[in-house]
Chain A
Amino acid sequence: MNEVSPIPASSPAAFDVQRLREDFPALHQEVHGKPLVYLDSAATSLKPQAVIDAVADVYARDCANIHRAVHLLSQRATARYEEAREKVRAFINAANKTEVVFTRGTTEAINLVAQSWGRAYLREGDEVLVTELEHHSNIVPWQILCQQTGATLVVVPMTDRGEVLRESFEEQLTDRTRLVAMAHVSNALGTVLPVAELIDLAHERGAVVLLDGAQAVSHAYVDVQALDCDFYAFSGHKLYGPTGIGALYAKERLLEGMPPYHGGGDMIRSVTFEETIYNDLPYKFEAGTPNIAGAIGLSAAIDYFTSFDSQAVRAHENAVLRYATEALESVPGLRPIGTAPGKVAVLSFLMDAAHPHDIGTIVDSEGVAIRTGHHCAQPVMEHFGIAATARASLGMYNTTDDIDALVGALQKVQELFG
């Protein structure tokens, strides 16, 4: 690994990754007798102790249902849940916290838009535009919607580097396009889409735009007002928060015109057998007891994440990504998949010597956790004529040592299979 050039001296000193790593208990364990090297944060990020404590504290102290009882525990739980909503609002810079709907995650947020907004407003002949690099959760909900409404799913192709170009986007955008649903950042390739520009184009045609922000929130600036997106979906668990919690941002005027997604408790103002009057925004879209501890855990994750200088975090991750990109180039027979300029945090690759699944098992035996498979993006695999890739992905806690461990483990693959 000595051939690889070191990180430039300009690396931010303010960002102390070794100290930060102390905050993540899962990092400090051995797997198969080797120290864990976690390179699967695109699947889910590890959780800092502050998040774990916040979730435990809800159950240990403020364990009550929200928006219901007059007792103190319920008041505390309600207050913390609503504080979490405000935290999310500020994090993505939404104008109003009525525009933040808690969901189980990105997938549920997208399905909510498809089934509520989509079924109300799409007709036969309308078009839903997605890109070729989408995760299945930003494809399948729209396919279901198209089957239900007679609308057509249209796909913007990507380049062989994994980019979505303005020209290709414009070619597929028509006056029939009612909705554009696209990733902010690709999970399989790390591509950052030029979303601001594409949103403007879509709006010029009168289409609304949903961004799948699952991979973006921990790696890119998200300002929903600056982007002017109509919907933004993301998950807490890729932002160092708990699983089972996420949020949908939607412009208030759109939410107002949308029917409920699920019926149940908390989403109503009054119910008789003749008529139900729905609750105000955003509660109309939060039927049933929500993931209270999850929302409060997400709030703690946002606190944790934003306690660091965001530019320093990005500079650190990009330095590790550059180091990794060069290091992987030195591995004989390795082919990177997804080489879009400006990409973030994801290194998908193939090796001549071994299938991704074999790579995954071998590097795991060296303590290195990566993802192998199609990454829920089979059309991306189809584009490259492959069934699967191996994917290493970065979080803020990863270091160049982790990359050295990966490259060392890949040498084991060569030894065994070469």
Chain B
Amino acid sequence: MTEALLESIDRAKRTGDFEGLIQQIPYFCFLGLGARVDGDGVVGCLRYSDPLIGNPVLPALHGGTIGALLESTAVLELFWQAETVVIPKTINITVAYLRSGRPVDTFARATITKHGRRIASVFATAWQDDEQRPIATASANFLVTPA
């Protein structure tokens, strides 16, 4: 980790502004990932663009993009909740696809189910118009080490 990246993580933790951090991760820019913080934590956002489509006939979002949104939101929530700057590494993730992702913006929230000394278990939910009607959920384990 270079200083610039650690500084962005630290800044996001202090201010809730993840934009600087996201700008440094090429894959997040490729996806069109955004994030903000509200009273319940981080809300990840996958801004709709045509290259996110996996089924052009329906059309529906590619499952991989929804998986990436859920995993990324879980990582940002771990940054946000941790007392110090930490580097989470994904061990595994299981995504349940509940509804097809329509070609609109998609949002996600993550809850840390258990944060141990080295391992964190996170549950995440993605939705489009109505947070009560999730289009996908994920549970993931992360190896969390101090930066």
A and B associate: no
Q: What residues make up the interface of B, taking CB atoms closer than 8 Å to A? A: none
